[in-house]
Amino acid sequence: MFVREGLDAPAPITSMPGVVQHSQESLVKGAVEAVDAGVGGLMIFGVPQHKDERGSGADDPDGVLNVALRRLHAELGDATVLMADLCLDEYTDHGHCGVLDEHGNVDNDATLERYRAMALAQAEAGAHLLGTSGMMDGQVGAVRQALDGAGFVETGILAYAPKYASGFYGPFREAVNSSLSGDRASYQQDASRTAADALAEVALDVDEGADIIMVKPALPYLDILRAVADASPVPVAAYQISGEYAMVEAAAERGWLDRDRVVLETLRSIKRAGASIILTYWAAEMASRLD
Ligand code: PBG
């Protein structure tokens, strides 16, 4: 779910029909409805009004995501698993997942400092599980250390381990009003990499303290998902991302696909490939349908 600062009513996301940028109020309402429908958890993304080069809104206790987490936690308590996207791209004016050095390159280690601060802000606001999606080297270890150091030993880490540089993230850029002009090829995985490379990423993240491993995107990477599910010592999740959602919705809108049938079929394929947790924009709908 997306929550955008400064909105007083939900705003549609054109490339993701049926998904909206929520206001703080409509987010709480939508979250309660989703939990009542039976979803297992909520992943929240913040869309700040002001972006800057270091992504200041990300660790500001009054930043849009942290405010939302606090409100959701007050409303839902432990009735659901409250997850927070731990990444800077929604908050930076250049749109990258980290801060930049003087040459304009993403500075891995300086970014880890920002992630530590974000982790503390999100844990303090009530998130149960932090989704480290920025793909910096050492991010899981850095976040784990920060959390433990502040006594948040129960706050978990959902580690995006093999996360591929993908064209399927397209609609997400609109969803978070992204200002990215280049790509993320220097920190996300290359799609031509083998499953063995994915397993190496998984091993590093597990070693650093990942509680759950996530493979992303899902449908174009089911082979990777199967390999990870077979090898991972921790539960494995898959993220059915914005472009996967959009292509089904768009084709269905034209009458080219039987929407309900195809949605279920894609989710079945992801489950069959070994995911025990699926992040999907169809979660609330499917929770009702699968009742
Ligand atoms: C990073 C992040 C992204 C997505 C989830 N977390 C953007 C990216 O990596 O480019 C994409 C999710 C989707 O496309 O549905 N904050």
Residue range 8-44, pLDDT digits in tens: 999 999 999 999 999 999 999 999 999 999 999 999 9
**pLDDT score recorded for residue 181:** 82
| pLDDT of 96 strictly over 80 | yes
Q: What is the DSSP letter of 142?
A: H
Nearest CA to ligand 1 atom 10: 169
Q: How far is CA 173 from the centre of its chain?
A: 13
Residue 219 identity: L
291: pLDDT strictly greater than 80: no
**Whose C-alpha lies nearest to ligand 1, atom 12?**
241
* Alpha-carbon span 264 to 140, nearest angstrom: 32
Flag whether pLDDT at 258 surpasses 80. Answer: yes
Strands, E assignment, 125-263: 129-132, 156-163, 212-216, 236-240
Joined together, the tokens standing for residue 244 give 């996967």
The residue whose CA has the least distance to atom 8 of ligand 1 is: 169
Question: What confidence category does residue 79 fall into, taking pLDDT thresholds of 50, 70 and 90?
Answer: very high
C-beta 241 within 6 A of ligand 1: yes
Query: In this model, does residue 250 exceed pLDDT 90?
Result: yes
Pocket test for ligand 1, best of 3, 21, 89, 135 (most atoms within 8 A of CB): 89
Residue 26 three-state SS: helix
Q: What's the CA-to-centroid distance between 279 and ligand 1, angstroms?
A: 12
Instruction: Please give the Cα distance from 273 to 120 (Å, whole number).
Output: 34
Given this model, what pLDDT does residue 185 score? 86
pLDDT for residue 186: 86
At 123 the pLDDT is: 98
Lowest model confidence (mean pLDDT) among 73-82, 160-169, 243-252? 160-169
Say yes or no to pLDDT of 115 above 90: yes
Mean pLDDT across 171-194: 88
Mean pLDDT of 121-135: 97
233-259 average pLDDT score: 98
Q: Does residue 271 carry a catalytic annotation?
A: no
Specify burial of residue 200 (Cβ count, 10 A radius: 0-12, 13-18, 19+). Answer: middle
Token duo for residue 106: 């993403």
C-beta 242 within 6 A of ligand 1: yes
Ligand 1 atom with minimal separation from the 45 CA: 16
Nearest protein Cα to ligand 1, atom 6? 133
Atom of ligand 1 nearest to the CA of 131: 6
- Burial (CB count <10 Å: 0-12, 13-18, 19+), residue 259: middle
CA distances (Å), 225 to each of 93, 206, 237, 274, 289, in order? 33, 16, 9, 6, 25
**Residue 280 vs residues 111, 128, 192, 226, 283: alpha-carbon distances, Å:** 28, 19, 24, 18, 5
172 alpha carbon – ligand 1 mean position (Å): 6
Q: Rounded to the nearest whole angstrom, what is the distance from the C-alpha of residue 164 to the centroid of ligand 1? A: 10
Instruction: Tell me the average pLDDT across 55-67.
Output: 98
Strand order in the sheet with 277-280: 11-12, 20-22, 2-4, 41-47, 81-86, 129-132, 156-163, 212-216, 236-240, 277-280
- Residue 264 has a pLDDT of 98
Question: Does the beta carbon of 4 sit less than 6 angstroms from any atom of ligand 1?
Answer: no
pLDDT at position 25 is: 98
Is 90's pLDDT higher than 90?
yes
Is residue 153 a contact partner of residue 147, using CB atoms and an 8 Å limit?
yes
| 51 tagged catalytic | no
Quote the pLDDT of residue 188: 86
- Measured distance CA(45)–CA(281) in Å, rounded: 12
Task: Report, as an integer, the average pLDDT of 63-67.
Answer: 98
Cα torsion through 208, 213, 5, 123, rounded to 10 = -50
- Note the maximum CA span of the chain: 54
Spacing, Cα 175 to ligand 1 middle (Å): 10
pLDDT value, residue 225: 98
